[in-house]
Structure 1
Amino acid sequence: MTKLYSREPFGRFALKSAAMSSIATLALTMAASAVLAQSVPALPDVEGPVSADETDMQHPSRRGPTLGQETPQEWPAYGEPAFHDYVEDEFFISGQANGEPYTTRIVFRRPADIDDFSGYASIETLHPAQSAQMWMATRIGGMMNGHAYIEVVNTPGLVGSLQAYNAERYADLAIEGAVTEEGQADPAQNEIIAQVAYLMQTASPLGAEWNVEHMVISGASATSRTAMNFMEQENGNSAYRMDDGSSLIDAMYVWDTNGPSQDALDTIYDVPVIILATQTEWDDGTRTFPADSEDYRLYQVAGMPHLESREMYEAGWNECTLPIDNFMFNAMVFMGMDYMYNWLTEGQGPPMADRIEFEGDAENATIVLDEHGNAAGGMRSPQVDVAWETFSTPNEGNFVCGLMGTAIALPDDQIAQMYPTTADYAEQLVAQTNRLIDEGWFPAEYIFEIGKEIERFASRDSTAN
């Protein structure tokens, strides 16, 4: 069998006339006024790290059987922070947002040893499902590379989720300046994000050596919209600057979304942006997307559903009427993070991927399918390139099922012709995985998923998907 690719886990005009001079002076004056309208965020007060034990549990920020209210579903040992010598520090922070006081919590997930810290941090808000989505999806690859994760609670509803989990521990948390009327923008949300981003770049509560060098705002689904709101709204990122005048946020990477509009990209964003769109997103009838540019990449992942199921099923998944997909979800999300890290540290944009192929540009135009029934084009994965299943979305059943995917095995005779034995399948899968890694389309950190996929293929006759 071909040996799997491996790599080390840590890597890392001239004005010539008086008239033109006058115009330039006016422009500079206007620019200076714009800068004066921006401000350095306030630094919140910090308490912590706040200790926790079995009698005073810290909210785990994981989706569990009931979206976090009961004991969270266990992860495999290699997915746990302790396996990678990682620490999950919880802090309570206090300040003013929208003119009123707030006290909330942040979690800083980071290597125990400062020498292992890459300087890169993903900042995200707690998802309504009581989960830190980017942390959960990319943690294995992220921890292998020494990246940090910052989780922010910035709405009263999320404060309520913490208090439902541990009323005594989180009793003093409150966001008094929040706007809760439906359809109204809440200025407090963005102010809290800005203050946390500034804190963790300039005055980390763990000490200056833990100040973040590359701050990337992240999110998935609902929190991808929170991140885009922060980047696009008047009281968001554009309202703030670092002390040296640079952008508060260095980049944005979000997924489970089709991302910003072309107009927003052209007029608002001034930092690198990566969007990872699953098949659920571009299966909604949208057929036109912003073009890749110097500071923007869109990756549409063929076969990938909105919700992950390979590692952690959602509450209610057992009510889905079609087989669950088992897509290599987390590997593809981490791929986007790896692209962004290299973009920020090396200054060279990641590769541009083909877009998903449609029969035309009309709304609801049919998706072109490959010979195995999977979407043609887009970002590929080992599972769709060496396929024994057809991946599609949505699944059927309840609301959660509508966000999940399904995978239907190809006919037995077709599988037997393509892969006479498990060894034949394994050889093809490993070879294609190596090619994808060499070409920069699959993260080497997730080669363990290939072994699991071979096992799944071998047991397909006796085990449901």
Structure 2
Amino acid sequence: MGTAIPVDLRAGGYVEDEYLAAGIASSYRTASALTGDGRWRFSPDATASYRTRIVVRRPAKASAFSGNVVVEWLNVSGGVDADPEWATLHEEIMRRGDVWVGVSAQRIGVMGGPVLVKVAGAGSDLAGQGLRAIDPARYGSLQHPGDGYAFDIYTQIARSLRTGAALGGLHPQRLIAAGESQSAFAMVTYYDGVQPLTDAFDGFFVHSRGATGLPLVGPGKSADLAGSLGGTPAIFRTDQGPPVIDVQTESDVTGILNSSRALQPDTDRFRLWEVTGTAHADAHLLGANASAIDCGAPVNNGTTHLVAKVALRALTTWLATGTAPVAAPRIGLISGATPQVRRDADGIALGGIRTPPVDVPVATLSGVPGPKSSTICLLLGSTTPFSTTRLAQLYPSHAAYQQRYDADADKTIKAGFVLSDDRAALLAYADPSAITG
């Protein structure tokens, strides 16, 4: 599994299992144009056999189970199955007793194929090989018929989980579809075109979507995500029941993903949270690999994962009680043919969900990438430390800075955008050593 964040499952009272999932899956065809309102009409098309794998991380004790199962569509943009939602959310998943299931839904993860985003670091030599080639003894029997079938593969696995299969005797109360980046594009397509046919999921956790959905493709093909970026933007349709919470980083809103083209208002079934001072991927998500990437500036070190964890809790509460998450302000935009983020004199974005590192700053946290151009750098934003002169203007002393930071942390928690459980993690982003007074 392509993850840069090691987690001690046993210490957290969790176990991990891996299973084969096999069956006959259907692809889909569209009955009409894919319109911007998301009210797409799909119908089953061809069928093909598949044999893929899932990874299950669950509480070792049944009594600890929350009833929530988070089903992550594993991300293949780096050429291997990666679990960015687990990396982002695992503290919240484990302390609440949720089950996490990672699904090898797409062809590249199983069979190999072109690498969309090349990331230097441990395991990068495996990119594009696929599970079958990485470990033939373990995965040589796997078979994936193409990404056009991925949506039904995902549905069939969800339906099996609903019965308790692969969960060690646990029985779910709520199934949550989850995906980040390329997998978030898949969530758009699934919600708008497939969920109306299957009713397979109770809620959707979407993280860093672009303006479009993941395209449908023919047998043996992998989805052309890069080619779809300039396609017709689409919102999450508003005529079905399962709620959606969509967490977007600052760089997602404009930049290469340009989710602002699919901006939609909150409803009683939809919440959009845009997080100021964050990037599509960041120092937390990269872990030890961050030091191996040279973008000409330090990569973004924002608080996406802290906001995402409260978003997951807000979604599970929404499902369990009907109480919707708090509404969040949008990041300010300068309108035009190519919208730009509104910024203050320090280069920090205006509006959006704000946390102490952007409201009591010692550096400019931004979705704007460093000066060295590469696909991965376009996604990593930047962190630019303030000059000593600017810091002296803002903070007369270490104590003054820390007092303001702590007060803003409590304000953020009270507003509902960071959990009180994560207060210590939020305070750890403070950097009083930068202050000379």
The equivalent position to 1:214 in structure 2, one of 166, 174, 188, is 174
Q: Is the 8 A contact 1:372 1:387 kept in 2?
A: no
Shift of 1:424: 2.9
The equivalent position to 1:421 in structure 2, one of 365, 384, 397, is 397
The equivalent position to 1:171 in structure 2, one of 132, 140, 151, is 140
| Residue-by-residue CA offset, 1:366-407 (whole Å, 9 max, x unaligned) | 432235431111111121121111122222322211110111
5+ unaligned residues in a row in structure 2: which ranges?
27-46, 112-129, 213-231
The equivalent position to 1:448 in structure 2, one of 424, 430, 433, is 424
Partner residue of 2:23?
95
TM-score w.r.t. the length of structure 1 is 0.74
Equivalent positions of 1:174-193 (< 5 A) are 174-175=143-144, 178-179=145-146, 186=148, 188-193=149-154
2:286 aligned counterpart, secondary structure: coil
- The number of residue pairs the alignment matches comes to 370
Partner residue of 2:75?
127
Shift of 1:212: 1.6
Partner residue of 1:26?
none
Equivalent positions of 1:23-422 (< 5 A) are 61-63=1-3, 73=4, 75=6, 79-98=7-26, 99-128=47-76, 129=78, 130-160=81-111, 161-175=130-144, 178-179=145-146, 186=148, 188-208=149-169, 210-233=170-193, 236-240=194-198, 247-258=199-210, 264-266=235-237, 269-284=240-255, 287=260, 289-310=263-284, 312-313=286-287, 314=289, 317-359=292-334, 361-370=335-344, 372-392=346-366, 393-397=368-372, 398-422=374-398
CA 1:207 to 1:273, structure 2 compared with 1: closer, same or farther past 3 Å? same
Task: Return the alpha-carbon distance in structure 1 between the equivalents of residues 260 and 21 of structure 2.
Answer: 43
Task: Return the alpha-carbon distance in structure 2 between the equivalents of residues 450 and 263 of structure 1.
Answer: 34
Task: Return the alpha-carbon distance in structure 2 between the equivalents of residues 433 and 127 of structure 1.
Answer: 32
Shift of 1:445: 2.8
Aligned-residue CA RMSD (Å):
2.4
CA 1:312 to 1:80, structure 2 compared with 1: closer, same or farther past 3 Å? farther
Task: Return the alpha-carbon distance in structure 1 between the equivalents of residues 435 and 300 of structure 2.
Answer: 13
CA 1:157 to 1:418, structure 2 compared with 1: closer, same or farther past 3 Å? same
Q: Is the 8 A contact 1:121 1:147 kept in 2?
A: yes
Shift of 1:270: 3.0
Q: Is the 8 A contact 1:201 1:212 kept in 2?
A: yes
TM-score w.r.t. the length of structure 2 is 0.78
Task: Return the alpha-carbon distance in structure 2 between the equivalents of residues 269 and 309 of structure 1.
Answer: 37
Residue 437 (1) aligns with residue 408 (2): no
Percent of pairs identical after alignment?
24
Shift of 1:127: 0.9
Q: Is the 8 A contact 1:262 1:290 kept in 2?
A: no
What code does the residue aligned with 1:237 have?
Q
Q: Is the 8 A contact 1:258 1:275 kept in 2?
A: no
Pair member with larger Rg: 1
Task: Return the alpha-carbon distance in structure 2 between the equivalents of residues 432 and 369 of structure 1.
Answer: 20
CA 1:97 to 1:409, structure 2 compared with 1: closer, same or farther past 3 Å? same
Task: Return the alpha-carbon distance in structure 2 between the equivalents of residues 293 and 271 of structure 1.
Answer: 12
Q: Is the 8 A contact 2:299 2:380 kept in 1?
A: yes
Shift of 1:460: 8.3
CA 1:426 to 1:80, structure 2 compared with 1: closer, same or farther past 3 Å? farther
Indicate the larger mover: 134-143 or 441-450. 441-450
